[in-house]
Structure 1
Amino acid sequence: MAATDKDWVDYFGDFNSTKLSVDTENDFDNAKTNFNYYDNQTGYPGYSNFSSDDFCQSNHSHFYLNVTCEFPINYAEPMYGYIAPFLLATTTVANTLIVVVLSRRHMRTPTNVVLMAMALCDMFTMLFPAPWLFYMYTFGNHYKPLSPVRACQAWNYMNEVIPAMFHTASIWLTLALAVQRYIYVCHAPVARTWCTMPNVMKCLVYIGVAAFLHQLPRFFDRRYVPQITVWRGHFEEVCRIEMAPWVQAISLDAYFISYYGFRVLFVHLIPCTSLVVLNVLLFRAMRTAQINRQRLFKENRKSECRKLRDSNCTTLMLIVVVTVFLMVEIPVAVVTILHIISSTIVEILDYYIANILILITNFFILVSYPINFAIYCGMSRQFRETFKELFIRGAVTSRKNGGSSRYSLVNGPRTCTNETVL
């Protein structure tokens, strides 16, 4: 194994180097005659007498799928086992309400469609790994070997691959939202032809397909082989993790550098940098509009003044949404970039600390998911009105002569593009 391959192994586990002497059912039967279930089998890699820390620090810690060793358990158990269930319930309720409100007929605008897609992606990012997080951390089964093979595959798909796919889509949707708002604010004439509902729907499909293709190799890059080992004094079937032959053929270096290089560039670096730039441009445009609004107010042009105020509310709301996104995504991008540097150029990363950082940054991403609902309620008048109409008895608002039907979610007058413009 190449020196740089070892760095990937430190991060993802040595999937191939460790073998047991018990490989088949026959060997399993034979092994029963050679080992007592309760003997100290120091020459046999059963690790039944190891503590969790001893085992995870040993060279055999990645022999089979062991959730205890994936993240520091002292951090993972309280975050994913005790706090995450409440976040899941909050996110599911909040994002379901967002989808219900935004799917109303009078709420269907290009911006609202993107916001609804973001809510769905964020919700699915939490829903897929939730059963496994409950089983492993809430119910305290993280230390047990996971089997059979199908369960190990399901753990990998539902806890890593599929959530990464939805989260990638959410990142690109956030970028699409910011670009769309920038066009509305700074290039209003172009918005009438570019930011139409059919174009937005096509964009959503393209983003979904791209996110799926980006994660497609992860469905096939490893395989789980049933293996018999000694666990806590008795023989137990576990899942031995092996990289797929096609990955070994191109080397771990080539595969992981390609995958994470693409991810750093197109999922973290470019989107986050673009969002920072767009946020600055939108803030500057909002400040300029505010100055114009003050001038119009002095000239007693109240109608135009109101339009600028509503449009500024729109821009400010989306700036807040993007800012919350950047606060939790930039740390993930930094850790991933440091990992790439440590694995390919110079070793600068302690992977125990890196795993803690990844755990914490991922956790704060989960914390950010329910926040958008609060932002919409606090900064969008029509969202509040529609929510009250749907869920609060007696809170029926009129949509006549200046009622809420004249306003989109983003608090602005409708135009021919069904959206707000300056």
Structure 2
Amino acid sequence: MADKEWEEYFGEFNNKTKPKYEEYVPAEKNYSYFDNQTDAYSNFTSDDYCASNHSHVYLNVTCEFPINYAEPMYGYIAPFLLATTIVANTLIVVVLSRRHMRTPTNIVLMAMALCDMFTMLFPAPWLFYMYTFGNHYKPLSPTRACQAWNYMNEVIPAMFHTASIWLTLALAVQRYIYVCHAPVARTWCTMPRVIKCLIYIGVAAFLHQLPRFVDRRYVPHVTVWRGHFEEVCRIEIAPWVQTLSLDAYFISYYVFRVLFVHLIPCTSLVVLNVLLFKAMRTAQINRQKLFKENRKSECKKLRDSNCTTLMLIVVVTVFLMVEIPVAVVTILHIISSSIVEILDYHIANILVLVTNFFIIVSYPINFAIYCGMSRQFRETFKELFIRGAVTSRKNGGSSRYSLVNGPRTCTNETVL
């Protein structure tokens, strides 16, 4: 996409001849008479207006995504998903933060839960205001509100989601080391190293999104909206980006994102999942041999390791199911913007909307996976929130004491 096209997209318009109403507009404000409710555009439909250049004169949320899809997804379904995500991920953090649950693997799982929750929590107030309460068609003002919309709906969620992607990769790498290179795990998978890794991931995710905090600015802009003057926000590209070149900036950002946030992590996770599955099958064969030799203690350790691996494979697989479509759409967008135009952007926006929505749907699923596949997670949850579970623990029912009380019957559950 040429610099001129980027400028048009972000609203760098030279004001045309202003109508006689200019005398009523403060001199320091930008002015535009473009509006689909004026006499000139009163017959415009929403689709007509969003297809015109005038839609980018000021921030127009209605034109960001096809409203027929965005309103039911973000306005009516998202609030229930938000409530479910907050409850589920808060429970994950509470359970995994218990003293006996603090392991290198669980620390990563807890960080993933927090990142997923914040990814949805920050844009939630704006999604409610715009879509649930039906205010998406109204001009947004003042400029601080427009900046808050940009930061809370785009930049900060992207930062936490990027961190979540890299944490998932770190989890898979950690598990691969545990399973396939056990002697090295004692050195590389210690708690201090894992905490340092989490800090590095958080800092890297912030630095990745840092330019997006300052790559545009919102200036006051007066337009005629529904027959009266309204101050809105006009989007401008920051001067430092224009100096650098819009093509250089946006292509660099999206190429980096495609490579290091989508393509390389997803490809690595697919490979690691395959390797972990093969290692798990090999370990299962070895476990059967140990069981025949009546080496029950070793059999139990191998079983627990296998079940932990299986649970993490399921977590990573769910992640890949929702992330790969996003990666494909992003790659197509880069190709269409910089090489050859191959996308119908109306369809592309629908695809982006749907893929992002399924990412949101996936956030509460991990809680169900942990409850269904981890005996210790489930029993710790019962001890914390269900009466009578403490008595059961004292009687030896808790998996915390199962290693002391002797091996249990082999199951498909795991102790993290």
- TM above 0.5, yes or no, is yes
| Equivalent-residue separation in structure 1 for 2:4 and 2:229 (angstroms) | 30
Equivalent of residue 324 in structure 1, options 308, 318, 327: 318
Partner of 2:130: 136
Partner of 2:411: none
Equivalent of residue 70 in structure 1, options 60, 64, 68: 64
CA gap 1:88/1:102 in 2 versus in 1, 3 angstroms: same
Equivalent of residue 96 in structure 1, options 68, 87, 90: 90
Give the secondary-structure state (helix, strand or coil) at the position aligned to 1:60: helix
- Runs of 4+ aligned residues of structure 1 deviating over 6 Å after TM superposition are 22-25, 399-402
Equivalent of residue 16 in structure 1, options 12, 16, 28: 12
Give the secondary-structure state (helix, strand or coil) at the position aligned to 1:346: coil
| Equivalent-residue separation in structure 2 for 1:280 and 1:372 (angstroms) | 20
Q: How does 1:49-60 map to 2 (within 5 A)?
A: 50-60=44-54
Contact 2:374-2:415 at 8 Å conserved across structures = no
TM-score for the superposition, normalised by structure 2: 0.91
Partner of 1:416: none
CA positional deviation for 1:301: 1.8
Contact 1:332-1:361 at 8 Å conserved across structures = yes
Give the secondary-structure state (helix, strand or coil) at the position aligned to 2:310: helix
Equivalent of residue 114 in structure 1, options 102, 108, 116: 108
Contact 1:48-1:233 at 8 Å conserved across structures = no
Equivalent of residue 199 in structure 2, options 201, 205, 210: 205
Contact 1:174-1:322 at 8 Å conserved across structures = yes
Partner of 1:28: 25
1:304-332 per-residue CA deviation (whole Å, 9 max, x = no partner) reads 11111111110000000000000000000
CA gap 1:304/1:240 in 2 versus in 1, 3 angstroms: same
| Equivalent-residue separation in structure 1 for 2:11 and 2:38 (angstroms) | 26
Partner of 2:354: 360
Contact 1:48-1:230 at 8 Å conserved across structures = no
CA positional deviation for 1:5: 3.7
Give the secondary-structure state (helix, strand or coil) at the position aligned to 2:68: helix
| Equivalent-residue separation in structure 1 for 2:402 and 2:119 (angstroms) | 31
TM-score for the superposition, normalised by structure 1: 0.89
Contact 1:184-1:191 at 8 Å conserved across structures = yes
CA gap 1:400/1:211 in 2 versus in 1, 3 angstroms: farther
CA gap 1:22/1:367 in 2 versus in 1, 3 angstroms: farther
**Tell me, which stretches of 5 or more residues in structure 2 are unaligned?**
409-413
Give the secondary-structure state (helix, strand or coil) at the position aligned to 1:274: helix
CA gap 1:331/1:40 in 2 versus in 1, 3 angstroms: closer
Partner of 2:216: 222
Give the secondary-structure state (helix, strand or coil) at the position aligned to 2:307: helix
Contact 1:183-1:190 at 8 Å conserved across structures = yes
**Tell me, which stretches of 5 or more residues in structure 1 are unaligned?**
414-418
Matching residue's letter, 1:404: S
Equivalent of residue 151 in structure 2, options 148, 154, 157: 157
Contact 1:49-1:232 at 8 Å conserved across structures = no
Equivalent of residue 398 in structure 1, options 375, 389, 393: 393
1:309-359 per-residue CA deviation (whole Å, 9 max, x = no partner) reads 111110000000000000000000000011111111111111111110000
Alignment RMSD: 2.7
Contact 2:221-2:232 at 8 Å conserved across structures = yes
| Equivalent-residue separation in structure 1 for 2:196 and 2:15 (angstroms) | 49
CA gap 1:188/1:400 in 2 versus in 1, 3 angstroms: farther
1:264-320 per-residue CA deviation (whole Å, 9 max, x = no partner) reads 010001100100000000000000001111111222222211111111110000000
1:167 aligns with 2:161: yes
CA positional deviation for 1:58: 0.9
| Equivalent-residue separation in structure 2 for 1:407 and 1:115 (angstroms) | 23
CA gap 1:168/1:180 in 2 versus in 1, 3 angstroms: same
Identical counterparts, % of pairs: 83
CA positional deviation for 1:233: 1.3
1:339 aligns with 2:318: no
Matching residue's letter, 1:15: G
CA positional deviation for 1:51: 2.4
| Equivalent-residue separation in structure 2 for 1:341 and 1:171 (angstroms) | 23
CA positional deviation for 1:406: 5.1
CA positional deviation for 1:21: 5.8
Matching residue's letter, 2:205: A
CA positional deviation for 1:15: 2.5
CA gap 1:106/1:245 in 2 versus in 1, 3 angstroms: same
CA positional deviation for 1:7: 6.0
Contact 2:287-2:302 at 8 Å conserved across structures = yes
CA positional deviation for 1:243: 0.4
